[in-house]
Every structure is written in C-alpha cells, then in structure tokens.
Amino acid sequence: MVKILAIHSFRGGTGKSNLSANLATVLAMGGRRVAIVDTDLASPGVHVLFGFSPSADQQTLNDHLEAGVPICRCAHEVTPAEVKQARGHVWLVPAAMNSDRIARLLREGYEVEKLNDALFELAEVLKLDVIVVDTHPGINEETLLSTAIADCLMMVMRPDGQDYLGTAVAVEVAQRLDVPAIRMVINKLPSYFDAQQVRERVSSSYQVPIGALLPLCDELLTLASGDLAVLRFADHPWSAGVQQLAHDLVASVL
C-alpha cells in the first residue's frame, strides 16, 4: 500500500519544497516509485527543482480539481538520470503557475476530499510506493487534509523564534489528528549555532523525534532551487542529512 509523506511547515521559507523534492529523489534512488504532489496551490514551486514547467497543453493539479481531468494525466515523469539507473521513478503533479488559475481556484474553492481521492487514484494507476505531499505553509484545508491522511508528517522549521511558536501549533494539530508518525526537520541551521543545543530545545519543546538537522549552506543557495542538491552535492552534509532522514523513514515508516 502506498505511503503518504506530508512535508509541512507553519511558516514559509523553511525549505519545504527543497526538502520535498530532494527527499522524493533519495527515496526513488532506492528503486521506489515516488510521486511528489504540489498542493501549495497559492504559491506552487516544487516543479522548479525538477526543471519542469508545464506547457499550455500539459495538465496540472488544478485541472483535476477544477475540471475533473484524470489525475494520472496531471502527473509528469521527471525521473533524473541517476534515479533511472537505480530503477526508480519520480512523477510530479505540479500546480498551475498561471495567476488567473490560482486566483480562480482560491476564489471558487473545491471539495478537499477530491485531493484525498486523487492521491490514492494516482497511487493505484502508477503503482506508487510513496507519495510526497508538498504543502502550503500554515493551517488550511489542504494542509489539514495532508496531515490527516499522512503516514508520516515532516514538520520543517528554522531555528527561529517565530518558527518555534508556530510549529508548536502545527504539532498540536497533528497530534489531534492522530498522525501515526511525526518527524521534526530543522533546516537552515547556521554553522555558528550549537547543533546539540538546538536538538535538545526542539526535543523538549515538541516531544517528537527529530528526523534531521540540516545546515544552512552556500551550495544550496547557489543552486537557488534550480536543481536537486542530493544529486549535485551528494557528499554535502545537507544531502547526507536528507539521505539519513530517508533511511530513517524506510526503517520506521515505509
């Protein structure tokens, strides 16, 4: 049965989409069939990491939610060459980048259970092992759904006061929705921060296992979301952290 990994953060700018794309890639490098779904309908972006931009005749998640286009037609294979060699697959379900489409969907809304049904229909058609759901920051219908249906929720935060407070709200929501597994991911950790202190503070604040402490790094800034760090900088501590997180998920959740 497909496993749902929801990548969430209370605030924007935590590196959620980067983590989603790179984590999906690492999991696929293990020979898995992985889809990544951009449910950040208000500010989509994960497609950039795969160098994918839907052309006018290519379907997006919006086409499924608004017009009932079969979800499998909204999924596009973006498997990197290195992942193909490992016999893995990555499909992307992007969200529309057109401002009119975004505004229309936000204005008219949709039944969020459609998104739930779409994920499992996609899993059946593509014979998926994992779906990585990249979410919008904060609490809304899509993020609540993703949290409710997740096998594991990854809460991404920076070591920042506003993130600490907001993440507490999101973790409380997740616990209220009985998410089977939660992992904290502290991203963009400056080198001058005491990692052990941060680890202890996060552990004591949320009583949730820490999935990864990922450093703030120039290499990722250089990539500027234009590529996948786990492929371009495979030996970098950031990539190693994502690989370790994937290893933890494979051992405990997948």
Partner 1 sequence: MAALLALEPAGLRRVLKAGLRQGVEDLPLRELVAQELDCEPGSSAVDQLLAQLQQRQWLVHQGKIWKTRLA
Instruction: Name which of 159, 170, 78, 132 is nearest 246 in CA terms.
Output: 132
Per-position DSSP letters for 128-193, written without gaps between them = -SEEEEE--SSSSHHHHHHHHH-SEEEEEE-SSHHHHHHHHHHHHHHHHTT-S-EEEEEEEE-TTS
Residue nearer to partner 1 on the CB measure, 168 or 216: 168
Q: Write out the binding residues for partner 1, residues 116-175 only, by CB under 8 A.
A: 116, 120, 139, 141, 144-145, 148-149, 173
> Which of 100, 178, 218, 235 contacts partner 1 by CB under 8 A?
178
> Which of 31, 77, 98, 111 contacts partner 1 by CB under 8 A?
111
Query: Taking CB under 8 A as the rule, does residue 77 contact partner 1?
Result: no
Distance between CA 23 and CA 54 in Å, rounded? 22
Query: Taking CB under 8 A as the rule, does residue 181 contact partner 1?
Result: no
Per-position DSSP letters for 238-254, written without gaps between them = HHHHHHHHHHHHHHHT-
Query: Taking CB under 8 A as the rule, does residue 113 contact partner 1?
Result: yes
Residue nearer to partner 1 on the CB measure, 97 or 112: 112
- List residues near partner 1 by CB under 8 A: 4, 111-113, 116, 120, 139, 141, 144-145, 148-149, 173, 176-178
